[in-house]
């Protein structure tokens, strides 16, 4: 589960860096008095690619968080059922005579 948490953290860090870079690029283009068509095209291309990457990254974060919750839930469920199961086994063993 620690690996999932590390993966989510790494993806979130990458998302943050990409968003910051995209914002800086947009600010630079906005500062130009009259950006060339090439500069506008480059920005549009970069922005589209960045948005696609961000969408995929957000999807991965959601999937990883869901898996983490599921694994945590199973771990909690197992820890809660284990004592009951051993108590049940003890009760059965006490009732069954040794052969």
pTM over 0.95: no
Q: What local confidence, expressed as pLDDT, does residue 26 receive?
A: 92
Q: What local confidence, expressed as pLDDT, does residue 36 receive?
A: 92
Q: What local confidence, expressed as pLDDT, does residue 80 receive?
A: 61
Question: Mean pLDDT, 10 residues at a time, over the chain (99 residues)?
Answer: 88 95 92 91 94 94 91 74 54 52
Contact between 67 and 1 (Cβ < 8 Å):
no
Domain boundary assignment for the chain: 35-66
């Amino acid at each position: 589960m620690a690996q999932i948490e590390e993966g989510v953290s790494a993806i979130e860090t990458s998302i943050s860096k990409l968003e910051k870079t995209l914002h800086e690029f947009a600010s630079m283009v906005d500062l130009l008095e009259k950006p060339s068509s090439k500069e506008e095209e480059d920005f549009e291309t970069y922005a589209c690619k960045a948005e696609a990457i961000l969408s995929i990254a957000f999807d991965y974060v959601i999937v990883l968080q869901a898996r983490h919750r599921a694994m945590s839930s199973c771990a909690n469920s197992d820890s809660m059922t284990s004592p009951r199961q051993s108590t049940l086994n003890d009760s059965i063993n006490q009732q069954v005579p040794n052969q």
